Structure 1
Amino acid sequence: MNANDDQVTIDDDAVVWSVATEEISERLAEQPLVVVMHGRGSHENDLAQLFPFLPAGCVYASLRAPLSGAPYGMGGFTWFTASGAHGPERASVDDAVAAVIAWLGRAEGRFGAPPAIAALGFSQGGMMSVELMRAAPHRLAAAVNLSGASAHGPVGGDEVLTERRPPLFWGRDAADPIIDAAAIARTEEFVPGHFDVTARLYPGIAHSISREELVEVSAFLSEALRLDGSVD
């Protein structure tokens, strides 16, 4: 395991890939990489169950969040420490984002750089998808935020995002019982000025992911990552 008590680090050995290890380099030479991030209190095998419902023309890597949920009275893993009045503390978000970016560097060093990278996450993982784009706007081509929000506070890449406006899919239930109204309002204010947003509401899914949503996510990724071979 890579992580230790003093450093927020992604465990390379815990990553669940959509293809066999011996195939990763060959596939990434031609296919985009989608970094998949679970929600609070879950684990890397959770969203890996979605791989069969997502476009076949990508390589997927489902990461384990770097922090144990035990100190917060839950099982599984979490991306951030306990939240403050405005959601996760900025420093904790930045640490988690830096850990994923460092993992990307290690993965590219081992398997080679893919033609494009996207991020997909649920709940806390959805926030991570948005925040990865904010921190590394030139490294990621697109993001999928499922039942998540953006974090508070400015980020260095925000100005670049206003110019690039990369594609972002934001799917949720307006009656989501987990994500509070202040987080939704903050996200509704932030994302339109920084992303080309595809926003979808799915009544009745609460804090979950539906098959209908996955169909639209697949279409979004196919277009955003140009899986049909189209170019500008």
Structure 2
Amino acid sequence: MKKSILAIILCFLSYQIFAQTSLQKDLSLSYLVSQPKPKTVKPKVIILLHGYGSNEADLFELKNVLPDNFIIVSARAPFTIAPNAFQWYGNENVNGVKKESAKDLKTSTDLIKAFIKEIVKKYNADASQVYLAGFSQGAMMSYQVGLTAPELLRGIAPLSGRIFDSLKPEIKSAAAFKNFKIFIGHGTADDRVPYASATQAVSFLKGKNINATLHSYQSLPHSISEQELKDLVDWLNEK
């Protein structure tokens, strides 16, 4: 039996939707992308970085709540730890102390910086309106990239993360952050990355005359809440 015209059209549309959200592998990092609605010249961009053991599909669901005038990109971390599970960095023992791998952090930081430039070029995006947001390990990476290369971004949104001591000497001077925004979101009941990591980050950044805003969420564990997302959207929409 021949397919009806309607069935053919539906199949074509389904293929188009799948193609638009399938994993892209043409840049420094693999990623998923959602185009702005409606499409605009020089759109804004937000790049999402997932947490440990997750993948690009995790935070990509936020496209349903993030501003629809943004290109929304969700990147996959470069290190595989299991099928469909990735990490931005592993750990190593230094003088008997377990800490983040400096080699992995450098690799991921360099890849993300290259990826930002590639995304802007490929999608003809507004280079002055690129944001980096991450959860957990992804939050740590947003600090790593944003605080060492603020010229690539309009702002960062680390959610449930912390600033590594190894990063602090590498942070640019306050003058480099003149038009830079930082949204720090953290739950007070986080048992994986303690809430104190957020208050310490704000205190440290303000001590360097770098503006950062802390958004605290009472009784929230190591996760992202609806209110946090609402606050993030408001922050992205600020001029």
Same topology, TM > 0.5: yes
1:81 paired residue number: 90
- What residue is the counterpart of 2:31 in the other structure? 15
| Cα distance in structure 2, aligned partners of 1:151 and 1:161 | 21
Structure 1, 146-155 or 199-208: larger mean CA deviation = 146-155
The alpha-carbon distance between structure 1 residues 10 and 207, as it changes in their structure 2 partners (threshold 3 A), is: farther
- The answer as to whether partners of 1:123 and 1:148 remain within 8 angstroms in 2 is yes
C-alpha displacement of 1:91: 3.5
Task: Give, as a single letter, the amino acid of the residue that structure 2 aligns with 1:166.
Answer: F
Question: What residue identity is the alignment partner of 2:212?
Answer: V
Matching of residue 159 in structure 1 with residue 159 in structure 2:
no
Q: Deviations over 1:64-114 (max 9, x none)?
A: 0111124xxx96100012155474233322221110111223223333242
Match of 1:169 among 166, 183, 186: 183
Q: Which residue of 2 aligns with 1:109?
A: 121
Alignment partner, residue 221 of structure 1 = 236
Query: Comparing both structures, which one devotes a greater share of its residues to strand?
Result: 2
Quote how far apart the aligned CAs of 1:156 are.
3.9
Q: Which residue of 2 aligns with 1:230?
A: none
What is the rounded CA distance, in whole Å, between the counterparts of 1:210 and 1:83 in structure 2?
A: 32
Provide the secondary structure at the position in 1 that maps to 2:157. Answer: strand
Contact kept, 8 Å, 1:67 with 1:80, in 2: the verdict is yes
1:24-173 correspondence to structure 2 within 5 Å: 27=40, 29-70=41-82, 76-82=85-91, 85=97, 87-115=99-127, 116-153=129-166, 154-160=168-174, 164=178, 166-173=180-187
- In structure 1, what residue type is equivalent to 2:137? Q
Stretches of structure 2 lacking an aligned partner (at least 5 in a row): 1-23
Question: Aligned-pair RMSD on alpha carbons?
Answer: 2.9
SS of equivalent to 2:147: helix
Q: Secondary structure at the match of 2:228?
A: helix
Residue 88 to residue 178, structure 1, CA distance change in 2 (3 Å): same
Cα deviation for residue 184 of structure 1 reads 4.7
Distance in 2 of aligned mates of 1:16 and 1:208 = 21
> Structure 2 length as normaliser, TM-score?
0.76
User: How far apart are the structure 1 equivalents of 2:114 and 2:176?
Assistant: 24
How far, CA to CA, are the matches of 2:205 and 2:176 in structure 1? Answer: 9
Matched residue, 2:192: 178
SS in 2 for 1:35: strand
Deviates most, 33-42 or 184-193: 184-193
Tell me the CA shift for residue 165 of structure 1.
6.6
> Residue 206 of structure 1: CA displacement?
0.1
- What is the alpha-carbon distance in structure 2 between the residues aligned to residue 63 and residue 42 of structure 1? 11
Give, in whole Å, the separation in 1 of the partners of 2:203 and 2:98. 15
